[in-house]
Amino acid sequence: MKPVIQDPIKSSTEYRLPRHVAIIMDGNGRWAQRRHLPRFAGHRAGVAKVRELVETCAESGIEVLTLFAFSSENWRRPVQEVSLLMDLLWTSLKKEIRKLHKNNIRVRFIGDRHAFASRITDHIDAAEALTAENTGLTLVVAVNYGGRWDILQSVRSLACAVSTGELDPEQVDVAEIESRLSLHDLPDPDLFIRTGGERRISNFLLWQLAYSELYFTDTLWPDFDQKAFRTALDDFAGRQRRFGMTGDQVETLRNA
């Protein structure tokens, strides 16, 4: 598969890859339960699948991969499961970051870090610092993240800027809001994938997914292999992205 990264409208007849893929990795617990294993076994299997997908994206030429690892609502899960998830996050950071750095992958984390123990935030900070200058795939990990929280942080920043006179109310526009969001310096996701059979976006990147192509699959995350990912990419490549225009307009721009 030859990667083609370009304007979503002026695409060629070559295979068109998304620049940015965002994924809700759903189904770890059900995967484990179907095998009569504890739910945590599913989360461990899910981490292995993350490793595989990161390698695939890096090799294919996809620019950004954003993964929803832990939502702000996940704190409602059983205390023991949350504790195990935190331990898994910590150990995964310790284990994987050097390999990611060696492969020129830039790692970023988005979400409210205040709820995490210092042992986790220290590793998050170290991972970002170590990989900050890397120029390959950007891997964004959303932890304790919510789309409403993201927008709220932007609005609060704007309110502060207006109150101090830095901005006039009339200057508050889409660009000002976007400039204060977590992914302000990255392209919006072209393709959103959710595994596990649910058909909702669950408070993930609410602003940024406005024009993303949505792809839902019944495949549970630990079973989402390279073949399943290729199926999602094939589906994306076959769609016509109109961004409010008509199909004829898109074809005219594409052929210009």
Domains defined along the chain, listed by start: 20-145+188-241 (3.40.1180.10)
Distance CA 222, CA 46 (A): 5
Q: Residue 174: which residues within 8 A CB-CB, separation 6 or more? A: none
Residue 28 is a catalytic residue: no
Sort strands 138-145 and 20-24 into parallel, antiparallel or unpaired. Answer: unpaired
Helix or strand or coil: residue 18? Answer: coil
Which of left, alpha, beta for 200 (phi over 0: left; psi -120 to 50: alpha)? Answer: beta
The residue with tokens 């390999």 is 99
Q: Tell me 228's DSSP state.
A: H
Structure pTM?
Answer: 0.87
Q: Most confidently modeled of 15-19, 78-82, 123-127?
A: 123-127
Annotated catalytic residue within 74, 103, 134, 203? 74
Tell me if 61 sits within 8 A of 91, measured CB to CB: no
Helix or strand or coil: residue 77? Answer: coil
Distance CA 176, CA 170 (A): 11
* Residue 165: predicted pLDDT: 95
Residue 26 is a catalytic residue: yes
Distance CA 229, CA 23 (A): 11
* Residue 252: predicted pLDDT: 65
Task: Provide the pLDDT confidence category of residue 253 given band limits of 50, 70 and 90.
Answer: low
Annotated catalytic residue within 7, 26, 104, 150? 26
Tell me phi and psi for residue 207, to 5 degrees: -75, -45
For range 92-108, the mean pLDDT:
92
